[in-house]
Amino acid sequence: HIELARPVYHYGFLDVTLKSLRCVCFHCSRITMEEGEYKFSRAKMIKNRKRRLDAMHHLIRPKKKCDHCNGYQPKYTKVGLHVEIEYADEMERIAGSSGDKKEFLSAQKAVDIFKKMRDEDMKALGLDVTWARPEWMCISVMPVPPLHVRPSVVMGGGAMSSEDDLTHQLVNIVKCNIALKTAIKNGEPNIIVEQFEQALQHNCAAFMNNELNGMPQVTQRSGRPLKTLSQRLKAKEGRIRGNLMGKRVDFSARTVITADPNLGIHQVGVPRSVAMNLTVPTRVTPFNIHELSALVANGPTEHPGAKHIIRSDGL
């Protein structure tokens, strides 16, 4: 694994992260609405966790002030792979009165807000305290897949080897991580550190999916986009449809399928030619011996029948 110098947002959880941030106070990390309110209690009773979070988000998002600490709340917006906050007029600016009212919210700050949340508030938002804590939606440790997932390609009779696309992208992440660590250690200005953070964010997201909207693709020197995790799994030639569902195994066949109103909802119809050639191995027991004897009597030319028998000695 790679321990990141600063946490980054997981692009797959960015929408949930945004909803959670809008529901909790920027200052005290409590849910910004008083728990005794009728609408809050109704939303809290929703059993489905996803629907509960959506209901809480719809209810709490318009609030501009926390009911617990009276702190004014910023406006959160998703911009690409980042979260932008716009300070309310009453807040002026947390870091001081000068400068812009808009800035990017770092993943580190989001993690700090989430870590201060109470367990009761997490449950109210539909988050599991044991298995789905909100701070885990940001990545602080990047898992590295083993070599058999990203093997080197040997060329020229073993004289040269070309690394896999995933390995190339992991190298990019390591380089960005080292640059960010060095910038923090040397006390570089915040704008420099933020640039390295954004580069690390971009590379971590590209490692998972190199075809995100609004994000430039990471490419090889030749200009070819890298084929990262998502591209290997999805689509017709991907790991699921191309290799797992499309692989040739014993006792399998392919045919044209069609609807049949005579079939039960739990049944699948196959052509007679397929049914007579594809056998299902069935062990003989005292409970099914009469049924199987009838199939053997029908033989291999009748349906239903039996194609061959394997005796206890294996013949």
- List, in sequence order, every residue forming a beta bridge with 138; answer none if it has no partner: 9
Find how far residue 65's CA is from the centre of its chain. 33
- List, in sequence order, every residue forming a beta bridge with 86; answer none if it has no partner: 75, 102
CB atoms within 10 A of CB 311: 7
CB 107 within 8 A of CB 138: yes
Single-letter amino acid code for the residue at 117: M
* CA–CA distance, 274 with 264 (Å, rounded to integer): 19
Q: What string of DSSP letters covers 165-177?
A: HHHHHHHHHHHHH
Q: Indicate the DSSP class of residue 31.
A: B
Q: What is the CA radius of gyration of the chain?
A: 29
* CA–CA distance, 65 with 116 (Å, rounded to integer): 18
Q: Which residue, chain included where needed, has tokens 């009276």?
A: 70
38 torsion bin: left (phi>0), alpha (psi -120 to 50), beta (else): alpha
The candidate with the shortest Cα–Cα distance to 139, out of 75, 190, 208, is: 208
Q: Indicate the DSSP class of residue 244.
A: I
Q: pTM of the full predicted structure?
A: 0.73
- pLDDT confidence of residue 134: 92
- pLDDT confidence of residue 255: 76
* CA–CA distance, 22 with 61 (Å, rounded to integer): 6
* CA–CA distance, 211 with 8 (Å, rounded to integer): 18
Strands (E), 90-201: 102-105, 138-142, 153-155, 160-162
Largest CA distance in the chain: 93
pLDDT along the chain (315 residues), means of 10: 93 92 91 85 89 91 87 89 81 52 88 92 90 92 91 75 87 94 92 91 91 85 87 85 79 77 86 86 93 94 90 81
Token pair of 224 as six digits: 């070819």
